[in-house]
Structure 1
Amino acid sequence: MKRFLTPLAVLSAVFALTACSAGSLGSSEGDGDGVTLSFLVDNSETAAKVGAGLAKDFSAKNPGITVKVETRPQGTEGDNLIKTRLSTGDMSDVFEYNSGSLLQAIAPAKNLVAVDDQSYAAQLDDNFTTSVTSDGKLYGVPFGGFMSGAILYNKAVFAKNGLQVPRTWAEFMANNTKLKAAGVAPVIQTYQETWTSQLFVLGDFHNVAAAEPDFATNYTKNQAKYATSPAAVKGFQRLQQVHDAGFLNKDFASAKLDDGVRELATGTGAQYPILSSTIAQLAATYPDKVKDIGLYAIPGDDAATNGLTVWAPPAVYIPASTSGAKLDAAKKFLAFIASPEGCTSQANAYPPTGPFAVKGCTLPADVPQAVKDMQTYIDTPGASSLALEFLSPVKGPSLEQICVEVGSGIRKADAGAKLYDEDVKKQAQQLGLAGW
């Protein structure tokens, strides 16, 4: 399996379109007395619309600067294009790309302009700042909002059965017992699309980090493992527990994402551990039901430390090849993106599916309740933290298949954790990490 962010292309493809380039690749020359910036984004519908909205609104506010949007492929092809253009000095004046571990692969100290000296740096969310920092330098501003690994739940079903949002695993399982007795599938799983199986493991990382703060660092050094970490192994154990207790939807083995969304929206299933980006599909396919869907963090053992695991948004960067008047204009453009005006521009271009990573930005009043629920975690100090893949480059290709086996009763949790520890070795060795 590719990195967990990559399977999101499966989800975003529901909304994707092929966007045409608004200008030739490479840096543009100044137009008359003004400056023209080329702005490279990926060709998903979201990125294309948000990029165009930012370019239009920034240029309207800064008449001397024109921003022309260009597009690139997503996935591996897009990654290779970025790396090639950076290495040849032919990158667009500003560009959108991944944050987190994938950023390190493009050698930011060599290829990007640091922006930690800019006034807006202090206004960026700490989780995002961590995801775009290398060797103590900040390199990007957020493009879009946070995503989370959480549990979407049907609020109407909860209300009918007198349930409260659980903050511990014991409360979660007690709710499941009541839901099953009421004839509702407590937990929806959609193992036909294997990537959806991973949330009880990956979405639980906030709880892991709360119990073992050094887990990510030690994991990268091969000094911590899922099978031997009392906190990390629980993700696999909980996959097994909900299966063994009979809490899953009957079609969990054959169901796909669309089926999971339908079961959640119609109330035949009560809770769906999934990425929060699924909210967009829910709103598009069941607009009359989206108001009934809320979101909460995957419960852990301790209510006091329970919180949301988040995936930082991609970022906008300035390549080292941008210089002179273009560099000054590019810095102004990034400052605009990292401002409340920039957040409003992005929200107007495409409905937000997660909280912004800029302090002082507010979500539109009409966003789905589940997005508002995410904002509560972001606003509460200590109630959110980054997914493991933003803190460590180590991730094995077979996690989703292992999760399906554990969640289907084919393999026991402890054996699954051990198998995954073996699975990550090859990738860690390919990356040349010390200790592997």
Structure 2
Amino acid sequence: MRFRPGASGLALLAVCSLTLAGCSAGSLGSSDSGGNGSIELTYLIGNQDQDVKEGEQIAKDFHGKFPNITVKLETRPAGSEGDNIVKTRLSTGDMPDVFAYNTGSLFQAIAPQKNLVSLNDQPYIKDLDDNFKKTVTADNQVYGVPFGGFMGGAVLYNIPVYKKLGLTIPKTWAEFMANNAKIKAAGGIAPVIQTYGETWTSQLFVLGDFHNVSAADPSFADDYTANKAKYATNPAALKGFEHTEAVHDAGYENKDFASAKLPDGLKMLATGKGAHYPILSGVVANMVATYPDAAKNVGLFALPGDDASKNGLTLWTPGGVYIPKTTTGDKLDAAKKFLAFIASPEGCDSQNKAGAPTGPYAVKGCSLGNDVPQAIKDMQPYLDKPGASSLALEFLSPVKGPSLEQITVEVGSGIRKAKDGAARYDDDVKKQAQQLGLAGW
């Protein structure tokens, strides 16, 4: 169930992903490998502007700390073409010294035990967030460090609207719907912004609800992978579809929900024309760039479920940085130093220089900085509190289907009932699971 935004969504979220990548190369520093004891590392990253900007900054700052090590950047194409390049270069022994790639199910697909250097002996491993470590671990070996921040599948909300109407942050779905009723009664403000003109944005009530699903049914991800649990028949999993339906049926959506697109939704939220927007936190940086006051006027809370005591945030993890087994000798030692730098407060500070973080870092001791938007600050308490955050299903199961966004548009538009939509999605993922050859399907 990998969350794949549409074209404009990808442009907005490129800042959050190291896996959106073109092929060019550049170098920082002037040292050549082997000259005067100097070492040159090649670092394969994405070619999106923010990817390159962050890569250049981390390479510059690392070189400043280790003047004998120079990091040269190389980029790769996006999507399946980029995936194929990573797999091909690993299989042919032609992978650069260090590379950035996906975490979760796509990480497992590159045979980490065979192709990557384990980092279990590195002292900084204990400082990595447990949620992140799960996504770069195979056979109890950790293979990657995080680059970038977490994203949350959450509700962005307009703080002035909340203050004006005397509303409090909801921790249950009933409280959330009560807030929506008060907002609608006040008039002139859409309680819940939906932007089905870009279908990928329709999925949040389902995808962002997974913390609540796993809190109610901790075995769901494993049972789902084994074809023992279904969205249509598991009460906890069905809730996301039911919530999508309920918001529509109550008339809480903006009037132009069917045609509005992401920029329209961000404008409504930032200007107070809409109160709530269920969306990935990765859109915050773009919103603030267009509407600077949104940095202080827009906050974030986790999607509410049934149990306030278990309320928490569903997370999408940062990308990973890895060392292939073909990196050996002095280059391996240098590569380990580079990953240690990335996975340190110094590395996080370097990333802060390259642009505002999109969410809390997955490294203990890292700071978001002083100028981070309020919505991003609001994510941190969920990560700091034990049990208050958990991974999105796509990081826990390879089972996913391509049609969820079309189905949630139908459910959220009143075209299809929640249970029917969930059943349709169950059929959708069945085809994908069979193609993957998963047991039990």
Give the TM-score of the pair, scaled to structure 1: 0.96
Structure 1 stretches of 5 or more lacking a match? Answer: none
SS of residue matched to 1:110: helix
For the Cα contact (< 8 Å) 2:153–2:279, is it kept in 1? yes
For the Cα contact (< 8 Å) 1:204–1:300, is it kept in 2? yes
Aligned to 1:119: 123
Aligned to 1:248: 253
SS of residue matched to 2:293: coil
* Structure 2 residue 374 is matched with structure 1 residue 369: yes
Measure the CA separation in 1 of the matches of 2:181 and 2:59.
52
Measure the CA separation in 2 of the matches of 1:353 and 1:93.
27
For the Cα contact (< 8 Å) 1:41–1:95, is it kept in 2? yes
Aligned to 1:7: 5
- Aligned equivalent of 1:217, options 203, 218, 222: 222
Structure 1 position 69, deviation (Å):
1.1
Counterpart of 1:424 in structure 2: which amino acid? V
SS of residue matched to 2:378: helix
Measure the CA separation in 2 of the matches of 1:100 and 1:285.
32
Measure the CA separation in 2 of the matches of 1:15 and 1:416.
27
Aligned to 2:107: 103
Counterpart of 1:194 in structure 2: which amino acid? T
Measure the CA separation in 2 of the matches of 1:289 and 1:326.
45
Further displaced range: 396-405 or 342-351: 342-351
Structure 2 stretches of 5 or more lacking a match? Answer: 15-20
Aligned to 1:179: 183
For the Cα contact (< 8 Å) 2:12–2:282, is it kept in 1? no
1:340-376 C-alpha deviation (Å, 9 max, x unpaired)? 1111111111210100000111110110000000111
SS of residue matched to 2:379: helix
Counterpart of 2:378 in structure 1: which amino acid? D
Aligned to 1:286: 291
* Structure 2 residue 62 is matched with structure 1 residue 58: yes
For the Cα contact (< 8 Å) 1:265–1:290, is it kept in 2? no
Counterpart of 1:73 in structure 2: which amino acid? P
Indicate the percent of aligned positions where both proteins have the same amino acid.
Answer: 67
Counterpart of 2:354 in structure 1: which amino acid? A
SS of residue matched to 2:37: coil
Aligned to 2:80: 76
SS of residue matched to 2:234: coil
Further displaced range: 42-51 or 338-347: 42-51
For the Cα contact (< 8 Å) 2:5–2:201, is it kept in 1? no
Further displaced range: 71-80 or 235-244: 71-80
Structure 1 position 301, deviation (Å):
0.2
SS of residue matched to 1:57: helix
Aligned to 1:347: 352
Counterpart of 2:107 in structure 1: which amino acid? L
Equivalent residue runs for 1:25-424 within 5 Å: 29-183=33-187, 184-424=189-429
Measure the CA separation in 1 of the matches of 2:225 and 2:203.
20
1:20-66 C-alpha deviation (Å, 9 max, x unpaired)? 42159xxx843442110000100112211111111111111011111
For the Cα contact (< 8 Å) 1:204–1:298, is it kept in 2? yes
For the Cα contact (< 8 Å) 2:98–2:321, is it kept in 1? yes
Structure 1 position 12, deviation (Å):
4.2
Measure the CA separation in 2 of the matches of 1:204 and 1:151.
11
For the Cα contact (< 8 Å) 1:18–1:45, is it kept in 2? no
SS of residue matched to 1:232: helix
Structure 1 position 8, deviation (Å):
6.7
For the Cα contact (< 8 Å) 1:396–1:423, is it kept in 2? yes
* 1:381 to 1:413, Cα distance in 2 relative to 1, 3 A: same
Measure the CA separation in 2 of the matches of 1:61 and 1:126.
28
For the Cα contact (< 8 Å) 1:15–1:45, is it kept in 2? no
Counterpart of 2:93 in structure 1: which amino acid? G
SS of residue matched to 2:235: coil
Counterpart of 2:2 in structure 1: which amino acid? R
Structure 1 position 76, deviation (Å):
1.3
For the Cα contact (< 8 Å) 2:25–2:72, is it kept in 1? no
For the Cα contact (< 8 Å) 1:19–1:48, is it kept in 2? no
What do you get for the CA RMSD once the two structures are aligned? 1.6
Measure the CA separation in 2 of the matches of 1:22 and 1:90.
18
Measure the CA separation in 2 of the matches of 1:125 and 1:290.
26
* 1:288 to 1:171, Cα distance in 2 relative to 1, 3 A: same
1:235-285 C-alpha deviation (Å, 9 max, x unpaired)? 000000000000000000000001000110111110000000010111111
SS of residue matched to 1:231: helix
Structure 1 position 10, deviation (Å):
3.5
Measure the CA separation in 1 of the matches of 2:26 and 2:414.
51
1:139-159 C-alpha deviation (Å, 9 max, x unpaired)? 000010100100000000011
SS of residue matched to 1:261: helix
Counterpart of 2:339 in structure 1: which amino acid? L
SS of residue matched to 1:265: helix
SS of residue matched to 2:229: coil
* 1:433 to 1:138, Cα distance in 2 relative to 1, 3 A: same
Counterpart of 2:197 in structure 1: which amino acid? Q
Measure the CA separation in 2 of the matches of 1:260 and 1:269.
8
Counterpart of 2:325 in structure 1: which amino acid? A
Measure the CA separation in 2 of the matches of 1:132 and 1:15.
21
SS of residue matched to 2:434: helix
For the Cα contact (< 8 Å) 1:19–1:44, is it kept in 2? no
SS of residue matched to 2:89: helix
1:89-114 C-alpha deviation (Å, 9 max, x unpaired)? 00010001111111011110111111
Structure 1 position 290, deviation (Å):
2.5
Counterpart of 1:92 in structure 2: which amino acid? P
Aligned to 2:17: none
Once superposed, which parts of structure 1, at least 4 consecutive aligned residues long, lie more than 4 Å away?
Answer: 14-20
